[in-house]
Structure 1
């Protein structure tokens, strides 16, 4: 699990790419012993053209206390990423004392002897860092941040305090508060969402009792409650020691200076007890186990199946990653062909590897349509497997899958933080930071025989764990022969949580040091923001083109954005734009859906089509060497859609399934209801881009063709390209498209929003363990003079992550939430100010009152220090504003959408430097007053509605009729949460 919720959920997702960053996939090290950690440097070549020879330059040395240090120099941006990886995850825990590694991931951000309470977050808020964050897996715990290069010494100072000057600051009140935060994380990511307990049931039954992977990374609520201060301190002193930690510094820095700083800040931390590598603990499942669970939040039954396999970086992990992707993903996948196309039992099939240091597993997941029996799904799975046994994997499929994994591998290395993570991962799991070369070689060397072999060895006829998660009251839909799964459900009781005062100062004897560590280091030589060189052009049909040439990795990213999107729909037939986008991905005039998908994937590319609220978009990523061929396929998709009737039937089933799935998911409900309250039922912005069950059922192919004909035109389109391709080469390829795609006039409607009156609105989701809050109002568009001043104003309120007032008071002060944040967002014609959070159900009223008070008091209590912190962060953060391909593409799209210059960041810096307290107060008084806002609460009416009425904050209105919203599928989280 992670301090950042998005990263945490990724750790539980089955991934099939063998060498993504630390957060992408879990694969384990080989059986060899660690290498001696002597100072060394790799011989990685500068060029990256020969794919099997791809390398990451690094330097390596070890301090006397055992701290392992890795440096990677990358001067493409004036930033540096610092990551500290402790080789301790939930696998080092014991039954009855689970969740400690994840708890420490949280605790280590709170205080240290020399930074003080909240010192790291406060420092990050000043220095322009990406936000100090962390994650925990079964095997490791990470702490990381990317900062302007002149803040490197500050980061090393702060990270050293984690290991040597931290544990004395942990007191009983601090521990009590952080237990509440972790519990809120579990409620939000597990207890309060569909299928949230699925991984718990699988792991508990796949691994034998006592195996370190049989419990969850986040631990159990009971174990957290029972953890004492002595337990926690003992765990820390055993595992969080230099000889169990890898420090990686990656980016633009002087290695000799950095080495001296590492020795200065980390060198005097004493080594801990010797730590042996844990032995591999692969498992063999003796018999099949079938279990079911009635899920309060599920509206469709889900079958999951798991088989034991191999640890990370094992020989068989590479063909297993190819196998799982081939079986489940895409038109040629046997499971897709049977379950989705032939028998139409589901719109969703997923299969992947969840491999860790000590053992591994493969998992299959299928969500049936509403009312579907999982026996039929299981039978379809068996048919899919039989199809694979009959056909095997064709060489064409093998090559397209490997090409896609190669691109994903390179994309994971597009930032200095990504490269740093990869070096640490290779060091910890493969005992070799330079394993990157072997990693990609082993991926590309997988043969069809390898794929068949691992299927026979790990899946064919082998025992498995199968879980059936069915809607409450529908256990008859579960797989036959299933027994009830044991899941511990927390009961929410008002006043049940312990009271604490986390603000109290701890009394302790300070840990000695050879120099004064209480003084924060000064900045190094100034880090200057580097704005990319942008080229611009125009095609014959009028399309404006914006580009940035960048050769860090051999990849090209491209987007074609056509204004309109949902705005071109009618309210009585919503969902047309979305279905049009889906059909344009599914075949062309001369290629079947399967042929098109195969052609794209063979080139190591992806081409996706999507419809948003304001635009219709084509997004492309490809290996640079294949750009011309991929662009030709994009052109074919754009100009010659297939309009396949069978695919429309499948697409409509898929969308209807998404709508049903979202009906009981609190975040999805909140997003939909908030949009309707903000914009009104007569504005298309208040409706779902997915449509409703009724509107989707009524949509015909003629509706899609009409949308395509009337709205997609070069006259409202712009193109953006970032990557390893010169301007001339791109314009030559695009010229062919311009000749065949003539412009025509298109008018973009701009619906009028009619928001509901300010007040509290409540949506009932019985049994919710959390209440989801969405608070806000309409505000200025992105082109308004007030827009960036409002972004500046919001920074201290809720835009500054852990240093913001909302986070400090609701999470750090009260333990009410796992995360809360506020944001200012805008389009061409309107924008919004909004706050989002999920809070413990039994403090719903208290949370609403506290947020109300924070908003009311914000303008009068804004200080000179707040002004300076906001100015420092927002100016200094620009050094890392354009590091990744995605960030560069965002720059280009902002230029085309809003007419901003390439260096608009300079204008924002000037605005930030000119901001004053009166200007901030004026913005806050205009756009951030609580009485001007809509307050939406999605939670358990029986226990919370009356308490909200007694607050006196405003009238409470029960919202009855709800349909799910496009932008808030079950994975959508509260704004700004970390």
Structure 2
């Protein structure tokens, strides 16, 4: 239930853009109207201190409910870390009136988007989007978290959830390349008594040592109304909603007064160099960090601009020096990361294989010297500011995004609408400000530098580095005691003035509106589908050109990917830098990527700049540059990606699973990046040949969503229809089964000392166009497609604590795709986890109940209220229509399928498509401890395969 700690949403608004005219002509951006870059809101405070914020948005019949507690890891004590994050988990498990798993079960019934949460150093939030008729239910449930929860936490519950959190740490830190970097940096950047010295997830020892009394004390101190913000954003009646908030929250007692936490920057008195041999790294990585300022500090805005200017474009000093000139790395990442009481300016360079990090550090010095000499021009500063409007609208294009923005600013300074002030402060940054903050915080100042290098290659680390103190967990078979999560806690119920055990009723059912689709064809035959959406003044569109990896030759796999990446590296009329700046001048983004079955151009722009952006897309599409210098850089970058994949357990699993389920002769079994050998063999002529043969409107489809009517879009597209000439392209035949499917056995890939085992279980099943595909997807909802309501999650995570997450799904297209169950599990329960998965699959047909079917129907039908809220969801809908020839209201047909499903039908589909004896059982983990045990799964001798 934990997402990565969410940065302040406005920070996403400050990603790189440019406002510099290209040398070649491009239609200028239309002058911006006086945009209101703000989010309207109402705010009131209950007598117990709960701060409540309402934002009304009638565009979809949904409401986002966001409960944000102003407590993160910064409020913990040394030796008792990880508590805030632990509560992010615990508050979903049970409360006095919802019962065990009550929130997850209710979410499934009401069609919610999936209750979720995240924890940062400064706050913990709990959020989801629900159909508007379920708003009272959600307010009731959120109040129960705050006032009627803590009695339900028992020693067994705590013991099991500790295991879930440990699994999360193993998955995101211990079993991930460079996963310990942040831990090492923060230990050196902040004194031992500083609240940012430890990680949000805490230490495994602290978690293990936490007692029930410790946990309850922490909750009663911080999870109180006077330390919480409740945000409702969406389509609701504010008068009625206020009555519900007052009814359910008012009698929760105010807690002790909460003191503001003092601002306290990190301290680095002299440069600290630390090195670590990383079990999962194949490439050396240098990270450097300087202490800076906290969120909303006047200097934070100029530091944000500085970070963007140094690394984010082809004009950037670090790109010029490290990527183009010295070629020590494929890219450089720089960011100013701010939190409530402190910030840090961070630079990361993942160098090419076997590069000495001393050499990389020397190039870093040269790049800083280049900036010191040249500074930042007004022109460069303006291009960085240009896309602020676009990024703001993207950040508020969903009610959930708006709720997060309002909550963040409210806890930071009590003003939910401060986003407008932050934008003004960014727009007011001058070149002198950028130079001043560089001189104040970076130039000549001591820093923390970490060298994370592959095992056995410590010589690549920075000279003078000390060994980093990284705590590596020892995985011991049978170390964790079994727990009984079904045991009910005995406690006196918390009193209330009314009966809270009765779930509130639904409101009036919202009318689900399927977006109206317009449809046209260009002169070259390309079909264009669109949806007019005026919620924000943006247009998002894509062009899908069928083919992609499917059209790569067997000995030149990787051509489609390289060609796609080259498409945005200049045009016949513009250098790579000129093209980049022309795009950024419009506050737009244009990306081209290759996928398994297509090459896709994806675009995001202001509606008023649609024509100018489209002109650039046409130039990219029809006048590629084929720049030899850029080709060499991209090729080297891809080779580095492939090398790193060789050590990343999830990537290893995905690559090998594809080979097993598709068979070696199917293009879908191949890595879209290619192999080291195939990429080294590719020339720029191969890219040109692929482009000439396969990029054609005859196999292309376009989808447009945004503040643009059909007539305007059609008029703008006339040039593309005229200039992009059609030619025949031969696509591979649709495949219905694996050419040589692997037999149902255990397949094992060895990653020595892995702290987790990555599991992928499945087989090649169905095409999307198969009549059984959607019914099978419905059947899978209770198995593993229903998030926390699913059986796999309930038993492996909630019941046993074996995993942080597990899911199952059917995938496919016009060709048959795989059914897959995927998870990362604690190493010492690899066998037990697969045995439990096997048992769940075997029992599924006979244990699936009428109640399961009712839950499935409720979710799949009610969730349609939010099915098309975002532009991305609308684009996906259009893609389905154009790719599969479906009707524009295909969602209604799916509703009819769901409504008509019966228990015997589900049971028959389960027996047919969820048979564990048909499946390959792939494990990526530590062979010396886990491989011998896997024979007990019952599929004969496990097969050890190469990475």
After TM superposition, the score normalised by the length of structure 1 is: 0.94
Q: Would you say the 8 A contact 1:16–1:353 is kept in 2? A: no
- Which residue of 206, 213, 218 maps to 2:201? 218
Residue in 1 that maps onto 2:23: none
- Helix, strand or coil at the partner of 1:152: helix
Residue in 1 that maps onto 2:447: 464
Query: What is the CA-CA distance between 1:17 and the residue it aligns to?
Result: 5.5
What does 1:511-530 align with in structure 2 at a 5 Å threshold? Answer: 511-530=494-513
Q: 1:568 to 1:9 in 2, by over 3 A?
A: farther
Check if 1:18 corresponds to 2:14.
no
- Mapped partners of 1:251, 1:212: distance in 2: 35
Residue in 2 that maps onto 1:951: 937
- Helix, strand or coil at the partner of 1:369: coil
Check if 1:293 corresponds to 2:276.
yes
Q: 1:17 to 1:59 in 2, by over 3 A?
A: closer
- Alignment gaps of 5+ in structure 2: 17-30
Q: Would you say the 8 A contact 1:163–1:240 is kept in 2? A: yes
The alignment yields a C-alpha RMSD, in angstroms, of: 1.5
- Which residue of 889, 892, 899 maps to 1:903? 889
- Mapped partners of 2:586, 2:9: distance in 1: 18
Residue in 2 that maps onto 1:864: 850
- Which residue of 431, 440, 444 maps to 2:427? 444
- Helix, strand or coil at the partner of 2:635: helix
Residue in 1 that maps onto 2:405: 422
**1:260-283 residue CA offsets vs partner (Å, 9 max, x unmatched):** 000000011011111121111123
Q: 1:929 to 1:304 in 2, by over 3 A?
A: same
Residue in 2 that maps onto 1:618: 601
Query: What is the CA-CA distance between 1:405 and the residue it aligns to?
Result: 3.8
Residue in 1 that maps onto 2:238: 255
- Mapped partners of 1:698, 1:200: distance in 2: 40
- Helix, strand or coil at the partner of 1:480: coil
Q: 1:491 to 1:855 in 2, by over 3 A?
A: same
Residue in 1 that maps onto 2:574: 591
Q: Would you say the 8 A contact 1:849–1:953 is kept in 2? A: no
Residue in 2 that maps onto 1:543: 526
Check if 1:812 corresponds to 2:812.
no
What does 1:462-611 align with in structure 2 at a 5 Å threshold? Answer: 462-611=445-594
- Mapped partners of 1:498, 1:50: distance in 2: 64
- Mapped partners of 2:154, 2:589: distance in 1: 51
Check if 1:114 corresponds to 2:101.
no
- Which residue of 73, 77, 82 maps to 2:60? 77
What does 1:729-878 align with in structure 2 at a 5 Å threshold? Answer: 729-750=712-733, 752=735, 753-754=738-739, 755-878=741-864
**1:756-804 residue CA offsets vs partner (Å, 9 max, x unmatched):** 1111100000010000000111111111111111111000000000110
Check if 1:399 corresponds to 2:395.
no
Q: Would you say the 8 A contact 1:346–1:367 is kept in 2? A: yes
Q: Would you say the 8 A contact 1:17–1:321 is kept in 2? A: no
**1:595-615 residue CA offsets vs partner (Å, 9 max, x unmatched):** 111111121111000110000
- Helix, strand or coil at the partner of 1:53: coil
Query: What is the CA-CA distance between 1:625 and the residue it aligns to?
Result: 2.1
Q: Would you say the 8 A contact 2:5–2:120 is kept in 1? A: no
**1:169-221 residue CA offsets vs partner (Å, 9 max, x unmatched):** 00000000000000000000000010000000000100111100010000000
**1:350-397 residue CA offsets vs partner (Å, 9 max, x unmatched):** 011211000111100000111010011101111111111111122232
Query: What is the CA-CA distance between 1:410 and the residue it aligns to?
Result: 1.7
After TM superposition, the score normalised by the length of structure 2 is: 0.97
- Mapped partners of 1:110, 1:481: distance in 2: 48
- Which residue of 863, 866, 883 maps to 1:880? 866
- Mapped partners of 1:315, 1:451: distance in 2: 12
Check if 1:330 corresponds to 2:317.
no
Would you identify which runs of 4 or more consecutive aligned residues in structure 1 move more than 4 Å? Answer: 48-52
Residue in 2 that maps onto 1:683: 666
Q: Would you say the 8 A contact 2:760–2:822 is kept in 1? A: yes
- Mapped partners of 2:392, 2:415: distance in 1: 18
- Mapped partners of 1:948, 1:236: distance in 2: 42
- Mapped partners of 1:600, 1:208: distance in 2: 44
**1:295-320 residue CA offsets vs partner (Å, 9 max, x unmatched):** 00000000000011111121111111
- Mapped partners of 2:38, 2:479: distance in 1: 54
Check if 1:8 corresponds to 2:4.
yes
- Mapped partners of 2:728, 2:304: distance in 1: 48
Query: What is the CA-CA distance between 1:895 and the residue it aligns to?
Result: 0.8
Q: Would you say the 8 A contact 2:6–2:120 is kept in 1? A: no
Query: What is the CA-CA distance between 1:810 and the residue it aligns to?
Result: 0.1
What does 1:85-484 align with in structure 2 at a 5 Å threshold? Answer: 85-484=68-467
- Helix, strand or coil at the partner of 2:358: helix
Deviating more after overlay: 718-727 vs 653-662? 718-727
- Helix, strand or coil at the partner of 2:931: helix
Deviating more after overlay: 79-88 vs 55-64? 55-64
Q: Would you say the 8 A contact 2:37–2:392 is kept in 1? A: no
**1:68-122 residue CA offsets vs partner (Å, 9 max, x unmatched):** 0000000000000101000000000010000000000000000000000000000
Q: Would you say the 8 A contact 1:16–1:321 is kept in 2? A: no
Query: What is the CA-CA distance between 1:953 and the residue it aligns to?
Result: 4.2
Q: Would you say the 8 A contact 1:112–1:119 is kept in 2? A: yes
Corresponding pairs, count: 930
Q: 1:535 to 1:897 in 2, by over 3 A?
A: same
**1:124-183 residue CA offsets vs partner (Å, 9 max, x unmatched):** 011100011100000000000100000000000100001100000000000000000000
- Which residue of 916, 924, 928 maps to 1:942? 928
- Helix, strand or coil at the partner of 1:434: coil
Query: What is the CA-CA distance between 1:847 and the residue it aligns to?
Result: 0.3
Query: What is the CA-CA distance between 1:430 and the residue it aligns to?
Result: 2.5
Q: Would you say the 8 A contact 2:9–2:404 is kept in 1? A: no
Query: What is the CA-CA distance between 1:16 and the residue it aligns to?
Result: 10
- Mapped partners of 1:771, 1:461: distance in 2: 44
- Helix, strand or coil at the partner of 1:619: strand
Q: 1:453 to 1:51 in 2, by over 3 A?
A: farther
- Which residue of 885, 891, 914 maps to 1:928? 914
Residue in 2 that maps onto 1:965: none
- Helix, strand or coil at the partner of 2:854: helix
Q: 1:16 to 1:349 in 2, by over 3 A?
A: farther
Q: Would you say the 8 A contact 1:300–1:369 is kept in 2? A: yes
Residue in 1 that maps onto 2:22: none
Query: What is the CA-CA distance between 1:49 and the residue it aligns to?
Result: 7.1
- Mapped partners of 2:464, 2:388: distance in 1: 38
- Helix, strand or coil at the partner of 1:702: helix
- Helix, strand or coil at the partner of 1:950: helix
Q: Would you say the 8 A contact 1:52–1:437 is kept in 2? A: no
Residue in 2 that maps onto 1:34: none
- Helix, strand or coil at the partner of 1:346: coil
**1:656-687 residue CA offsets vs partner (Å, 9 max, x unmatched):** 00000111110010000000001111111111
- Helix, strand or coil at the partner of 2:4: helix
- Helix, strand or coil at the partner of 2:921: strand
- Mapped partners of 1:615, 1:559: distance in 2: 12
- Mapped partners of 2:258, 2:171: distance in 1: 35
Residue in 1 that maps onto 2:26: none
Deviating more after overlay: 734-743 vs 806-815? 734-743
Residue in 2 that maps onto 1:28: none
**1:208-264 residue CA offsets vs partner (Å, 9 max, x unmatched):** 111000100000000001100000000000000000000000100000000000000
Deviating more after overlay: 495-504 vs 797-806? 495-504
